[in-house]
Amino acid sequence: MSFPGFSKILIAEEAVSTPLTKKAKAAWPDIAPQIVRNLADHELQLDMEPDPVAAGKRTLALGPNRGKFIRKCPGTMGLVCCNYWVIDLVEGCPIDCSYCILQGYLTDRRIRLATNINDLVDEIDAELAGGTQPVRVGTGELSDSLILDPQLGLAETLIDIFRTRPRATLELKTKTANIDSLLNLEPADNIVIGWSVNTPAIISSDERGASNLHDRLAAARQIVKHGWKVAFHFDPLVLHDRWEEGYRRVVDDIFSVAPPEKVAWISLGAFRFHPSLKQVIRDRFPMSDILNSEFVLCPDNKMRYVKPERLKLFRTLKNAIVAKAPSTPLYLCMEGIEIWESVFGGSPRGDKNLCQVFG
């Protein structure tokens, strides 16, 4: 069975003849799709399954998105906002990371694919009208941007949309090596291919179904060679055995495949989770050590490593990255200003590299 291995495809009546639906049917020819009047009436929660999260990952639901496609990443009071817009074209993800917030976050556990892409284009134009500030847009918030690309070619569609809208920079963020379609396209200045990276130890214990580090970086190398810009996200940074050495090596590996001038930005985010995710991780990933550290509850109701540990993580990574690429924009995810100041000696406003990225 090829990855992602769906066992069920549900199609909303009104989406039966959309191009995306046709592609999906052709991509998984062995699955007889079930045509339904209302997707919401069918196996939303999958609570009768022994592992509803895993069962959701095996069900693809295609239908129009009735809500908004684009939302500004809401940010959190007291944390520095990185001014990111999110496009929800796919919700749900076939990869299975222990720390994934989607395990507890989505009320619909299936992988939902919006078939009304034309509405997305209208919405993007409406959002971009009347402003001049640069904005960053990504699709990797509620899914992996490239996980379904071999089958559905969504990257090309999105790139074509944004290529002619230079005010926005589109980031396709992935943990895969699914770059074949991108190698057939003309690179564009406002498109960035981003990789979430981690040490091989964390990838193998906590990122089921994702490509290994070697494959991700080999893909990044090809992408850079082809002329695209890339980005890297150390998120989540996890304290584990010999993490310092492990992460330093990942930094070295990154810059061996991508020269600093080709790296649009790098982000650092320490492992954080809503308290309710703890039991989910324990149940679904009994072999994971990711919870075996000292965490405290933070004002945004998320658990984080106790402050000195977080600072150690960030400083180690920052030093390793700055030594290789002093002018590559580097930022922290979901951290308060006091952590920024302790790590960088100032806020993002004072960093000219970051001003261009954050807008």
User: DSSP assignment, residue 65?
Assistant: -
Interacting residues with other proteins between 298 and 357 (CB under 8 A): 298-299, 304, 306-309, 336-338, 342
Stretch of residues binding ligand SF4 (CB under 6 A), selected from 96-104, 116-124, 159-167, 300-308: 96-104
Among 24, 90, 102, 182, which residue sits at the site for ligand SF4 (rule: CB under 6 A)?
102
Closer to other proteins by Cβ: residue 22 or 349: 349
CB-nearer residue toward other proteins: 1 or 287: 287
Is the CB of 97 or the CB of 172 nearer to ligand SF4? 97
Kindly identify the residues of this chain, within the stretch 236-295, that bind other proteins according to CB under 8 A.
279, 282, 289, 291-294
CA distance 45 to 56: 8
Q: How many residues bind ligand SF4 (CB under 6 A)?
A: 9
* Chosen from ligand SF4, other proteins, none, partner binding at 325 (C-beta under 5 to 8 Å by type): none
102: partner contacted, choices other proteins, ligand SF4, none (Cβ within 5-8 A by kind): ligand SF4
Which residues are CB-neighbours of 276 under 8 A, at least 6 positions away? 104
Q: What is the DSSP string of 96-128?
A: EETT-THHHH-SS-SEEEE--HHHHHHHHHHHH
Window contacting ligand SF4 (CB under 6 A); options: 59-67, 90-98, 251-259, 342-350:
90-98
| Residue 47 interacts with which of ligand SF4, other proteins, none, CB < 5 to 8 Å by class | other proteins
Residues of this chain, 52-71, that bind other proteins according to CB under 8 A: 52
Asked if 161 contacts 189 with a C-beta cutoff of 8 angstroms, the reply is no
Interacting residue with other proteins among 126, 297, 323, 355 (CB under 8 A): 297
User: How many Å from the N-terminal Cα to the C-terminal Cα in the chain?
Assistant: 44
Rounded CA-CA distance 36/13 in Å is 6
The sign of the dihedral angle between the CA atoms of 154, 86, 310, 94 is: negative
49, 119, 123, 156: which one binds other proteins (CB under 8 A): 49
* Residues 178/138, Cβ–Cβ less than 8 Å: no
Give the span between the Cα atoms of 155 and 162, in whole angstroms.
Answer: 11
Strand order in the sheet with 8-12: 34-36, 8-12, 59-63, 111-114, 90-91
Task: Tell how many helices (H) and how many strands (E) occur in the chain.
Answer: 13, 18
**Single-letter amino acid, residue 338:** E
Question: Quick one: 103 or 139, whose CB is closer to other proteins?
Answer: 103
Residues that bind other proteins (CB under 8 A): 47-50, 52, 78, 279, 282, 289, 291-294, 296-299, 304, 306-309, 336-338, 342
Residues that bind ligand SF4 (CB under 6 A): 93, 95-97, 100, 102, 143-144, 175
